[in-house]
Every structure is written in structure tokens, then in C-alpha cells.
Amino acid sequence: MSPAEFDRFARSYDEDLAKSLAVTGESREFYAQKRIDWTAQCVGHLGRPVRRILDYGCGDGANVPMLASRFDAEHVLGVDVSAESIAVARQTKAEPKMQFLCTSEWTPDGTVDLAFTNGVFHHIPPKERVACLEAIRRSLEPGGLFAFWENNPWNPGTQFVMSRCAFDEHAIKISPRHAKKLLSSAGFKILRTDSLFYFPRRLSFLRPAEALLRPLPLGGQYLVLCENAG
């Protein structure tokens, strides 16, 4: 998806995503907070301090305040290829510790403790993915962490939700196995992989069982947590 094409969805992103998620019974905010909370829990187990965060493919910036709050970060930088999305983020998320840049304005500087991305790489042409991952790695300090979240093509619910989403029309999905190969080829060391979001709200009584299912690559989304080994 070209920058100009994704610009078309910058002002309607919330509405478009809400329509596709309606079948799950949950909101965008529900899934966003769960992803960030699980990321924070995994990072906490490693005992790594997180002061500076990169949200790669931040879109309208909705994750940035959540990341800042959950990690009590000093600075969170959101970058995105869509100039329209960055304009929305700057208008609606104006706080001193938050910054938003187009990728064309951004230079990785090796100062980030934690990079975060969610559902971004299925929009990036396959031939460009490794270069984007390498840019993220260059943004990290040595030993810095990268939380790579993606939609799981092995989950039927995810396939259905994406089929209903206007901005996923041209998505090229990435399996957990392929994601780990991509990350390794870009110089990351894989630390763990977890699958989340097995059950919609109407089956929420089954959600306690998800703790047992996280090692299986079958949840609606998965996290590959890795580090800059350079």
C-alpha cells in the first residue's frame, strides 16, 4: 500500500477498524491495551529499563499515549509513512513527551530502548520489509528490545476480520514462522513468541485458558519479542 493510498484512511481509520472488529465484540482500545500490557509484562521479566520508545507505523498515534503511560517513558516517538496520519496524530496527541514524524523525516539514532509495531508489516511490500526492520534495529541501543506484533494468518477469525477491513484489501499476511525468519535476517535475536486473542467476547469465559495456549501459533495475533544483538 503506497503512502498516498494509506493517507485515504487517516481520518476514517477508527470507524473502518471498528466495523471490522465488531464481530469480535471488542474495541480497538481493548486490543491495543492488551498488546501493550503483555509487552510490558514480557519486558518486565527481562528486567530491562525502558525510557525511550519507538512506535513504528504509529498511524494516528493512538498507541503512543498508552505506551508512554504503561512504561512511564520519558519519550515516545511515533513514525509513519502516511503524512496524513502523522498530521492527525500531531493534532490529537500533543504532549511534550510524545513526538510524531513521517518516516521520510526520521533518522534512526541508536537511542531507543524499546521499539513497538502492530499490524504494520503486512502493509509493507515483501521486498522492503528487511530494510524497514534494519532501520528499526538501527534505532535501538545494543540490547534494545523490539516487540513485533502481527495478525496471524493461521487464525480463521483473523482472516475473517481482515476480509472485512477496508485498509487491509492489499495486505500480504505474515505467518509467525516467516516473521521469525525475517527478524533473524535483519539482525535480531529472537527471545520469545506468544499468541494472544483466541476468543471473542461472547466466549470470554474461556479466556483464562489463553495462558495455556500462548505457546501455540494459533491466536488472532502474535508477538515476537527480540533484541538488537549488534
Q: How far is CA 182 from the centre of its chain?
A: 15
Domain count, the chain: 1
CATH number of the structural domain spanning residue 216:
3.40.50.150
Q: How far is CA 40 from the centre of its chain?
A: 13
Walk along the chain (230 residues) and give the pLDDT tens digit of each residue.
555 566 776 677 667 676 778 889 888 899 999 999 999 999 999 998 999 999 999 999 999 999 999 999 999 999 999 999 999 999 988 788 999 999 999 999 999 999 999 999 999 999 999 999 999 999 999 999 999 999 999 999 999 888 888 777 888 999 999 999 999 999 999 999 999 999 999 999 999 999 999 999 999 999 999 999 87
Domain region containing 81:
3-228
Q: Please, what is the Cα angle at 145 between 143 and 151, to 5 degrees?
A: 150
Strand segments (E) across 45-198? 52-56, 75-80, 98-102, 112-118, 140-151, 188-196
What global pTM score does this model have?
Answer: 0.94
